[in-house]
Chains A and B, each alone.
With several copies, the nearest count.
Chain A
Amino acid sequence: MEIKVLFFGVLTEVTGCNVKYYANVSSVGDLRLRIQDDYPEIVHYNYMISLNQQLINGESALNNGDEVAFLPPFAGG
């Protein structure tokens, strides 16, 4: 299974990328830990997480093909 992970705003500078694929992650919490391992700096930033373009509040299981995004506070307008 493969999860597509998107980064936006300042997080693209923290991670150095816009998109990255992860395999073998069963939940959002699991993914978050993997990303903190890869980019320890990310713990200093505020962000929300969306799953398939919907903001999620708590923990959520992940399935093959899911798209997870790490979203700094919105700043449109």
Chain B
Amino acid sequence: MSDYLVNGPVNPELITRQISFCDEKNDSGGISVFIGRVRADKTDSKTVVAIDYSAYEEMVNSVAASIKEDIMLEFSDVRSVKLFHSIGNVKAGEISLFVLVEAGHRRQAIDACSMTVELIKEKLPVWKRELYDNDSHEWKRQ
């Protein structure tokens, strides 16, 4: 299994643990976090109840590692980049993406986290199938 993929929803406890345990040297002043959740979008007469995520696992590993490298090269003040993406079933309201960036100061933490999220959207080989309350489903582009 990939270091970056989580079966089912990302547990909020994982997020707490990552926030609590980062930076043992206490030299990072800013932590920027992005959390992506499954929205109960209503379209026509149906509502999203879950998303079923699938991934090209081996490629997720290399792409995620290269995203982290790019961010560390671009932002000299960044100390660490963590990212976790769900595969499998994630219900509306549950978390499917968690990104955490630590930096010495706030600007680079915020900008690097923002760029990490954009790179994930653009490059991570993950697909999603929305599942609706009328038992239909649809592969989504975004």
Contact = CB atoms under 8 A, between A and B. Distances in A.
Interface string A57-72: 0000000000001011
Nearest to A12: B54
A13 B52 CA distance: 14
A54 B127 CA distance: 17
Interface residues of A, number: 17
Contact of B121 (A53, A54, A77): A77
B83 to A, nearest CB: 10
Could you say which of B36, B59, B117 has the most chain A C-beta atoms within 10 Å of its C-beta?
Answer: B59
Interface in A23-77: 50, 53-54, 69, 71-77
Interface string B97-109: 1000000001000
Interface in B82-137: 85, 96-97, 106, 117, 120-129
Contact of A76 (B58, B62, B128, B129): B128
Interface of B: 36, 53-56, 58-59, 62, 85, 96-97, 106, 117, 120-129, 139-142
17 contacts: A6-B56, A8-B54, A9-B127, A10-B139, A50-B59, A53-B59, A54-B62, A71-B56, A74-B123, A74-B124, A74-B125, A75-B141, A75-B142, A76-B97, A76-B124, A76-B126, A77-B121
Interface of A: 6, 8-10, 12-13, 50, 53-54, 69, 71-77
